[in-house]
Each structure stands twice: as C-alpha cells, then as structure tokens.
Amino acid sequence: MAAPVIAIDGPSASGKGTVAREVANALGFHFLDSGALYRLVALAALNRGVDLEDASAVEDIARDLKVVFSADAVLLEGGDVTNTIREERVSNAASRVAALPGVRKALLGRQRAFRQAPGLVADGRDMGSVVFPDATLKIFLTADPAERARRRYKQLIEKGISANIDALLEEICDRDARDSQRTDAPLQKCADATELDTTGMSVEAVVAKVVQSYNKRASKAP
C-alpha cells in the first residue's frame, strides 16, 4: 500500500512551508517543498539567461535539474542556493515558469518520488488536486493578504534579505492572481480539502490542528 500523504496547498506566504515542515517533524514523515522545485527551475533559467517565455528551453531545464535536498540546504548543480531561491526575483520568476504545462509535467515524477514510508507531508499549490489526488488529508491554508505580506517580510528580514512591505503585498497579490488564473493546475481549493484560515493563529496552533485532523482521519482509514 502507498505511504500516506498530507497535502497542504494554499496561496503564497500563507505559512504552508513552516506548517508542513513542522507537521512532518511531529509525525516523523518526509517533507516535500514543491515550490522549491519551481524556484530552482526559475533560478537555473535566470542564471543561464534563458527567456522565461521560451517554454521549450525552460522545460529542458526542469527535466535535467541537478538538485539535492539535504536537511537544511538546497543545492543546485552543487552550489548552495538555500537563500537565493527565496529572493523575490526568484519568487516572481517561479510563478511564471510554473504556468508552463511542460514544466509541471517534467516535475511530476520527481515530486511523486518523495512519497515513501512512513508518510509524506507535501506543500504546494496542486498537491491535493494533481500530484497526490489520493492524499489521506488535504488542507487548504489561507490568511488575509496583509498578514501574509507581514509574515513574508519577517521571514526575509530574519534571513538578512532586505524587503519592503508594500512591495511585498503587491507582489503577493500579483502572484495570487497569476497562480489562480493559469489554465494548468491553478491554485484552488479541491472539493475534498479542509480550508483553514490562519489569520491571527500561531504556527503551533495550526500545526496542532493539522496533526489532530490527520490522526482522526488515519484512525478511520480501512
């Protein structure tokens, strides 16, 4: 039987990454940060000066991506890009390359390979809808845009990356629009996902809620 999956989807800066990682730690599950894959494709394209509109060149990059995820670092072609992939220029490029169907297709197998015993927590936009439609639990995490901009600001400043909160809010809204309006795997809540609005909630409270929902669901599984 395939290992269980908890799919956590939602708009940018909704806290999915932090929550998913902590839920994985709490349950001893593996963790997939699918957004990092789109960020890596975008960074590789930017580094090589590839036009982001050139679908076939970007698809080639996605197919041949040489990436290693370790416990606390992401390596692209051997170089540490853990912080670089979080820069806003990469975030924006990521949401552009993510709109290319060939790129999404090229990354599908790589994402599914993370599904291993004892289980996986996967974070993204289409984890519950496309990549793991049979996930045991599907969560759609949201928060209002102003709170998301504040969270992203704090996260960047803590990493020593300079940021402007108004510009972040504008970029978050643009990215929401682009991610929701694309034709292939748009950001949307699946019918069988539980929506969790995290505005004003602490990370611990959100993690506890997801773990509790999973345990309840798993205890009922055949």
- Of 87, 147, 171, 179, the one binding ligand CDP (CB under 6 A) is 179
Which among 3, 38, 2, 8 is positioned nearest to 213, based on CA atoms? Answer: 8
Please state, as a whole number, how many other Cβ atoms lie within 10 Å of the Cβ of residue 178: 17
Q: Does 125 bind ligand CDP (CB under 6 A)?
A: yes
- Cα(104)–Cα(109) distance, rounded to whole angstroms? 10
Dump the DSSP string for 109-156: HHHHTT--TT-EEEEESSIIIII-TT-SEEEEEE--HHHHHHHHHHHH
- Residue 13, by phi and psi: left (phi above 0), alpha (psi -120 to 50) or beta? left
Residue 109 CB, shortest distance to ligand CDP, in Å, is 14
Q: Does 136 bind ligand CDP (CB under 6 A)?
A: no
Q: List phi, psi (to 5°) of 99.
A: -80, -5
- Of 8, 12, 41, 106, the one binding ligand CDP (CB under 6 A) is 12
Q: Does 34 bind ligand CDP (CB under 6 A)?
A: yes
- Cα(111)–Cα(175) distance, rounded to whole angstroms? 22
- Of 91, 129, 136, 142, the one binding ligand CDP (CB under 6 A) is 91
Q: Does 138 bind ligand CDP (CB under 6 A)?
A: no
- Of 94, 120, 135, 168, the one binding ligand CDP (CB under 6 A) is 94
Structure tokens at 111: 């994402």
Q: Does 98 bind ligand CDP (CB under 6 A)?
A: yes
- Of 4, 35, 119, 145, the one binding ligand CDP (CB under 6 A) is 35
- Of 6, 22, 24, 38, the one binding ligand CDP (CB under 6 A) is 38
Chain positions contacting ligand CDP, by CB under 6 A: 12-13, 16-17, 34-35, 38-39, 91, 94-95, 98, 124-126, 175, 179
